Amino acid sequence: MKLHKALIGIVMGVALGVTAIVAPLPGEQNVAEAAWSQSRADKVIATGRKYQGTPYKFGASSSTTAVFDCSSFTQRVFKVAVGKSLPRSSRDQAKVGSSVSKSNLKKGDLVFFKASTTTTSKRITHVAIYAGNNKLLHTYGKPGVTYSTFKGTSWEKRFVSARRVL
């Protein structure tokens, strides 16, 4: 019986030891993940910035960089910057990744909007990339690809949801 208990103790000790070696400490994993995501987010913003001033065209083909609509822009930027494939439409893009609250936005998050500040519908009609420092990187209307202020503007009032895909 003593030998049986000793063997169980040894097996459990080895199992715990292996688990401690294989599984990183929570703090270590979060730091590595944060640094990796930050690097990828910086690449996304740098890539998007290269298209600044490119004209907007609703329904633009995802195979061109001569014009963009909001979702072809985000689709192109994420693919070129980090190899991340996104669906073609903003509504479908709003289903990928993980949900993020407006107060927890990080650089590189996708931010989704409804059509106007007065509609009660939560139907998504626009997508932008959160660029950090209260800025959105996106394309619409006359400015084409541009930066816009987020908080305290009609963009914030039109906010529906945000997703982290990095």
Say which CATH number the domain at 151 has: 3.90.1720.10
Q: In what order do the strands lie in the sheet with 159-164?
A: 98-99, 159-164, 110-113, 126-132, 135-140, 144-149
**Is 5 among the domain residues?**
no
Q: Which amino acid is at 91?
A: R
Contacts of 160 (CB under 8 A, 6+ apart): 94, 112, 113, 114, 122, 124
Per-residue pLDDT tens digits of the chain, which is 166 residues long: 554 554 455 445 544 444 444 444 444 444 444 554 899 999 999 999 999 999 999 999 999 999 999 999 999 999 999 999 999 999 999 999 999 999 999 999 999 999 999 999 999 999 999 999 999 999 999 999 999 999 999 999 999 999 999 9
- Count up the domains in the chain and report the number: 1
**Is 10 among the domain residues?**
no
**Is 18 among the domain residues?**
no
**Is 160 among the domain residues?**
yes
Query: Residues with catalytic annotation?
Result: 70, 126, 138
Secondary element (H or E) of residue 163: strand 159-164
Q: What distance, in Å, lies between the first and last C-alpha atoms of the chain?
A: 54
**Is 79 among the domain residues?**
yes
Q: Which domain holds residue 56?
A: 33-164
